[in-house]
Amino acid sequence: MSGSIVLFGPPGAGKGTQAGRIVKMTGKPQVSTGDMLRAAVSDGSDLGKEAKEYMDAGLLVPDSVIIGLIVERLKRTDASSGVLFDGFPRTIPQAEALESVANVIAVVSIEVPDDAIVDRIVGRRMDPETGDIYHVEYNPAPLEIEKRLIQRKDDTEETVRSRLLAYHKQTAPLADWYSEKGLLFSVDGNGTIDEVAESIRDSIVGI
Ligand code: ADP
Ligand code: ADP
């Protein structure tokens, strides 16, 4: 299938966790604005320094910064038949900008209520070597890599509250925006990781 897929949902919904499986299924490269911003932060670039302030506060990074990153990323040849967007777009202006640089064929919304989100985010751990995502309780890492796992600086209970506020105010309205275009596929994000993966597969298999 030609065109891009958007993985949509609140912070901690499971977008990054599911992305790897969708990449395998569709062959489309994952484009995660969160990962791109974290790479810029660790490089210490000017963009990274600017973004860090927003990320640490649980606020969205300005649209102009994000749109610039995406436009550059989509110029790479691996993006020519579409990509899997993870964590982008997060505002209506971002979605509008996306319309002029990519053909979105499906928006998969992973639905998880706020009370489950805090637990998921506070228990999230990342493997800095592979980028794999784990959870202390729901998806524990193998013992041999447990020591090298890191916790994201913004994965605290306090920051999650700001991120959820930003989600409801600035990002959630995009669901209606995409629904009106007939592109929204909602899946229940409350099951196990495998169950959610199956619902996503079922929802996009025919597109
Ligand atoms: P997002 O990319 O949407 O922020 P992640 O994929 O990083 O979300 O998942 C957030 C946390 O929740 C991680 O610790 C992950 O292991 C865990 N998680 C993901 N999917 C599920 C699920 N279906 N059930 C329980 N925990 C999950
Ligand atoms: P999560 O899915 O847990 O919210 P992400 O890795 O997608 O985490 O994003 C981490 C942070 O990076 C966000 O809280 C926000 O500050 C910033 N960010 C990521 N993607 C975007 C975006 N599309 N627009 C604005 N800010 C973004």
Would you give per-residue pLDDT tens digits along the chain (207 residues)?
A: 789 999 999 999 999 999 999 999 999 999 999 999 999 999 999 999 999 999 999 999 999 999 999 999 999 999 999 999 999 999 999 999 999 999 999 999 999 999 999 999 999 999 999 999 999 999 999 999 999 999 999 999 999 999 999 999 999 999 999 999 999 999 999 999 999 999 999 999 888
Domains plus CATH for the chain? 4-28+81-201 (3.40.50.300)
- For residue 16, give the ligand 2 atom closest to its CA: 2
Distance CA 190, CA 29 (A): 25
Enter the tokens of residue 163: 């991120």
Nearest CA owner, ligand 1 atom 20: 14
Q: Ligand 2: which of 90, 98, 155 to mutate, judged by most atoms within 8 Å of the beta carbon?
A: 90
Nearest CA owner, ligand 2 atom 1: 11
CA 202 / ligand 2 centre spacing (Å)? 27
Enter the tokens of residue 24: 């395998």
- For residue 13, give the ligand 2 atom closest to its CA: 2
Global pTM reads: 0.97
Q: What is the pLDDT of residue 52?
A: 97
Enter the tokens of residue 83: 């990509």
Q: What is the pLDDT of residue 1?
A: 76
Beta strands of 47-120 (E only): which ranges?
84-86, 104-111
CA 180 / ligand 2 centre spacing (Å)? 24
